[in-house]
């Protein structure tokens, strides 16, 4: 069993197919297949069931996944330790962030980091915040800068960097903007444009409406806040967006549900952070303080 075989195995399950793994690893499909077959032969177990064009983990494969990821992460740390000269930071940093954070919060941080640590290869992956936390928890990624869950997994160590108050908003000509004595019950009677129900933001709003035994009437769902803002601005529904996104195209509603998101970092509690990850965290907090 070697790292090439483990890389083929992990890439196949993460990509969903042998062909996608081959593209990811810049190999032929037959090369990936041979590595998987060699790994299964050495372990004496079938790890993947080939169903159609996709793959599915067997029980043995599920047991191997966390171990394989840990071995590959340790190999990366070993390579970084050997290659780094004293006092320098080199290697890779695999970082997850959401589109909104990547556009509105991280540009100055990324610029500062790349100037301070030019020898680090930064691999930035845009994911929904929930997926980013899952990727860190599984060991696939080392660090996530995302909307933090209200009740994070016990395997995650989270740190708040920004508090992000959410403001109820609608188009200037929406009926809610002229509603006298606006209440949360009025919100429940009108269509909403929200992220999907799996997101932390959706849960915050749903929990607020649940206090009056109501649920949001979701007319349309998207996880891109910029798209939500556009849909709200043309009158398709109300929403809750960060205050920093308000402008002339949408107006704040005169009702404060006191809901906010906490934005920050998530790392695995049991993982020793690499030099690049520690360096990124050191740049992040001063740059946002």
Q: What is the pLDDT of residues 207-226, one digit of tens each?
A: 989 988 999 999 999 989 99
Contact 196, 202 (CB under 8 A): yes
Q: pLDDT tens for residues 234-287? A: 999 999 999 889 999 999 999 988 888 899 999 999 888 888 999 999 998 754
Look at residue 216 and tell me if it is in a domain.
yes
pTM above 0.85, yes or no: no
CA separation for the pair 279, 275 (Å, rounded): 6
109 assigned to some structural domain: no
Are the C-beta atoms of 250 and 170 separated by less than 8 Å? yes
Note whether residue 224 is domain-resident.
yes
Distance CA 8, CA 29 (A): 10
Is it the case that residue 188 has pLDDT exceeding 80?
A: yes
Residue 63, domain CATH: 1.10.10.10
Measured from the Cβ of residue 209, the count of other Cβ atoms closer than 10 Å reads: 18
Tell me the helix, strand and coil percentages in the chain, rounded to 5: 45, 25, 30
Q: CB under 8 Å to 276, separation ≥6 — which residues?
A: 80, 89, 90, 91, 92, 93, 117, 120, 122
Answer whether residue 2 is part of any domain.
yes
Angstrom distances, CA of residue 266 to CA of 47, 81, 98, 193: 30, 23, 13, 28
Q: Which of 20-29, 84-93, 183-192, 266-275 has the lowest mean pLDDT?
A: 84-93
* Per-residue pLDDT at 289 exceeds 60: no
Could you list the residue range(s) of the whole structural domain that residue 42 is in? 1-83
Q: Is residue 117 assigned to a domain?
A: no
Q: How many domains does the chain have?
A: 2
Q: For the residues 30-39, what does the mean pLDDT come to? A: 92
Which residue among 61, 83, 105 closes a domain?
83
Q: By percentage, how much of the chain surpasses pLDDT 90?
A: 54
Q: Cα–Cα distances in Å, from 102 out to 35, 97, 146, 165, 202?
A: 36, 6, 9, 18, 20
Could you tell me which of 74, 91, 8, 90 has the C-alpha nearest to residue 42?
8
Q: How many CB atoms lie within 10 A of CB 207?
A: 12
Whether 195 contacts 202, CB under 8 Å = yes
Give the tokens for residue 47.
Answer: 């790890």
What number of other Cβ atoms are within 10 A of residue 264's Cβ?
21
**Which CATH number belongs to the domain containing residue 187 in this structure?**
3.40.190.10
d(CA 161, CA 175): 36
Residue ending a domain, among 50, 83, 116, is: 83
* Residue 65 lies inside a defined structural domain of this protein: yes
Q: What are phi and psi of 215, to 5 degrees?
A: -130, 150
**Beta partners for residue 122, in sequence order:** 93
Helix (H, G, I), strand (E, B) or coil at 227: helix
First to last CA, the chain: 46
Average pLDDT, the chain: 89
Confidence of residue 87 (pLDDT cuts 50, 70, 90): low
Residue-wise pLDDT for 156-183, tens only, equals: 999 999 999 999 999 999 999 999 899 9
Q: What is the distance between the alpha carbons of residues 33 and 36, in angstroms, rounded to a whole number? A: 5
Using 50, 70 and 90 to split pLDDT, how confident is the model at 2?
confident
Residues linked to residue 259 through DSSP beta bridges, in sequence order: none
Which of 19, 48, 83 delimits the end of a domain?
Answer: 83
At residue 90, the pLDDT reads 82
Instruction: Answer whether 55's CB lies under 8 Å from 12's CB.
Output: yes
Looking at residue 204, what is its pLDDT?
86
pLDDT at 198: 85
Higher pLDDT residue, 50 or 96? Answer: 96
Query: What values do phi and psi take at 255, rounded to 5?
Result: -150, 125
Pair 214, 188: CB distance under 8 Å: yes
Q: Is residue 284 part of a domain?
A: no
Q: List b or e across 35-60, with b for residues whose CB sees 16 or more CB atoms inside 10 angstroms.
A: bbeebbeeeeeebbeeeeeebebeee
Residue 276 · residue 120 · CB < 8 Å: yes
For residue 237, being part of any structural domain is answered with: yes
């Amino acid at each position: 069993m070697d790292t090439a075989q483990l890389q083929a195995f992990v890439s196949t399950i993460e990509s969903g197919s042998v062909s996608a793994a081959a593209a990811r690893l810049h190999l032929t499909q037959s090369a990936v297949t041979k590595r998987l077959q060699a790994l299964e032969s050495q372990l004496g177990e079938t790890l993947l069931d080939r169903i159609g064009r996709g793959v599915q983990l067997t029980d043995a494969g599920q047991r191997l996944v966390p171990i394989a990821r840990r071995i590959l992460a340790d190999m990366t740390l070993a390579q970084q330790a050997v290659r780094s000269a004293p006092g320098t930071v080199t290697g890779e940093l695999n970082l997850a962030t959401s589109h909104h954070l990547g556009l509105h919060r991280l540009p100055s941080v990324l610029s500062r980091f790349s100037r301070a640590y030019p020898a680090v290869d930064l691999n930035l992956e845009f994911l929904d915040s929930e997926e980013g936390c899952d990727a860190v928890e599984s060991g696939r990624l080392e660090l996530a800068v995302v909307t933090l869950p209200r009740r994070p997994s016990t395997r995650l160590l989270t740190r708040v960097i920004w508090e992000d108050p959410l403001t109820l908003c609608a188009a200037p000509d929406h009926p809610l903007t002229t509603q006298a004595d606006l209440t949360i019950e009025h919100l429940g009677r009108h269509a909403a444009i929200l992220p999907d129900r799996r997101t932390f933001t959706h849960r915050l709003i749903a929990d607020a409406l649940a206090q009056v035994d109501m649920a949001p009437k979701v007319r349309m769902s998207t996880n891109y806040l910029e798209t939500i803002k556009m849909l709200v601005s043309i009158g398709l529904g109300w929403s809750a967006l960060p205050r920093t996104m308000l402008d002339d195209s949408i107006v704040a509603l005169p009702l404060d549900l006191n809901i906010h998101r906490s934005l920050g970092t998530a790392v695995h509690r049991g993982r020793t952070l690499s030099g690049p990850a520690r360096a990124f965290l050191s740049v992040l907090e001063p740059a946002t303080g």
